[in-house]
Amino acid sequence: MDFATLVQVLDSTLRLATPLLFACLAGLFSEKSGILDIGLEGKMLAAAFFAAATAAVTGSAWIGLAAGCAASLVLAALHGLASITFRGNQLISGVAINFLAAGITVLMGQNWFGLGGRTPQLEGAARFQNIELPFAQALSPVPVIGPLYSQVLSGHTILVYLGLLAVPATWYLLFRTRFGLRLRAVGENPAAVDTAGVSVTGLRYGGVAICGLLCGLSGAYLSTGLAAGFVKDMSAGRGFIALAALIFAKWRPWYALGACLLFGLLEALGNRFQSIQVLGVTVPTQFMQALPYILTVVILAGFVGKAIPPRAGGEPYVKER
């Protein structure tokens, strides 16, 4: 692989890792509050549809982004209602959200646009445009550093940079603020938080709401930044991959960035090299495209027992009287 090809692969890695990063951080907030959420996939899918549909009608990617986040927040509220208020099974609630989103997006898409569940192709202001960072053109001729800055870091949509900024913001919020301390505590020992006079329910709803917002950004990026419209099941398992990245990262924001970049790299390699030769044997295209999912299975099989989740995760809290 020459340097020019490497630069293109790294550029694709950053683009493809962004929706995973948003979803991974979303799961981090939810699980730190003690609420398991395997409905990341469904919230991403709903956000992708409503963002693209609204952007197609209004011609504004920003209005589409707001609609996508709103749709994700509605599903997050449903998950919170089932898991926190009614103390239902959190896994079942997440699965239900995934099924609901998979069905309703196609049904509404067909009803609104008559394109088999797809939305119209987005153009112009209906899509987020790439942004050129300062001095990108001037630094481009500089060996190594120039292409890495001008072609890898520069030239992405604003949501890519927002995703990168979300990592230190998440770290600061969780580990340097009172809200973060309480959120982590409620995921470990909700009874102690309740004894201190802090609302366990309020904190958990806060974690679920942040999760919904980040899933909305992830889904909106899929349909209005990475692609130019919505197609059926376009999240393609990214919600589950984000959960695997979260386990791999051991529920830590900076590790989550590395894990998502790794998954993004594998997907970029699969897209770039449809077939390669290894020891004289041609690796099938299907294997290259399945690399992120294979790594997901490997991580879930090898790291689930080693990574320690929040102790109160998945357990509804019942206040003692």
User: For 66-106, what is each residue's pLDDT tens digit?
Assistant: 999 999 999 999 999 999 999 999 999 999 999 999 999 99
Could you tell me the residue range of the domain that residue 191 belongs to? 3-239
Whether 245 is in a domain gets the answer: no
CA distance 180 to 198: 13
Confidence of residue 5 (pLDDT cuts 50, 70, 90): confident
- What is the mean predicted confidence (pLDDT) over 266-293? 73
Judge contact between 33 and 208, C-beta under 8 A: yes
**pLDDT digit string, tens, across residues 14-49:** 999 999 999 999 999 999 999 999 999 999 999 999
pLDDT above 90 coverage of the chain, percent: 71
Whether 7 is in a domain gets the answer: yes
Residue 317's nearest CA partner among 233, 152, 192, 197 is 192
Whether 117 is in a domain gets the answer: yes
CA geometry: angle at 160 spanning 157 and 166, to 5°?
140
Whether 55 is in a domain gets the answer: yes
Q: Is the pLDDT of residue 305 over 60?
A: no
Whether 193 is in a domain gets the answer: yes
CA distance 299 to 275: 24
What is the count of structural domains for the chain?
1
Per-residue model confidence (pLDDT) at position 288: 72
- What is the mean predicted confidence (pLDDT) over 172-190? 95
Q: Which helix (H) or strand (E) is 4 found in, with range? A: helix 3-32
Per-residue model confidence (pLDDT) at position 279: 57
Per-residue model confidence (pLDDT) at position 278: 60
Confidence of residue 273 (pLDDT cuts 50, 70, 90): confident
Whether 286 is in a domain gets the answer: no
Amino acid identity of residue 176, one-letter, is: R
Per-residue model confidence (pLDDT) at position 116: 84
Q: Is the pLDDT of residue 303 over 90?
A: no
Whether 217 is in a domain gets the answer: yes
Whether 313 is in a domain gets the answer: no
For residues 156, 160, 161, 163, the Cα torsion angle rounded to the nearest 10 degrees is -170
CA distance 20 to 257: 9
The sign of the torsion formed by the CA atoms of 220, 222, 228, 229 equals: negative
Per-residue model confidence (pLDDT) at position 283: 67
Q: Is the pLDDT of residue 213 over 80?
A: yes
Confidence of residue 276 (pLDDT cuts 50, 70, 90): low
Per-residue model confidence (pLDDT) at position 18: 97
What average pLDDT is seen over the chain?
90
CA distance 217 to 83: 23
Q: Pick the most confident of 52-61, 108-117, 304-313.
A: 52-61
CA distance 283 to 226: 27
**pLDDT digit string, tens, across residues 214-230:** 999 999 999 999 999 99
Q: Is the pLDDT of residue 205 over 90?
A: yes
CA distance 66 to 72: 10
Residue 207's nearest CA partner among 81, 80, 90 is 80
Residue 45's nearest CA partner among 8, 71, 11 is 71
Q: Is the pLDDT of residue 199 over 80?
A: yes
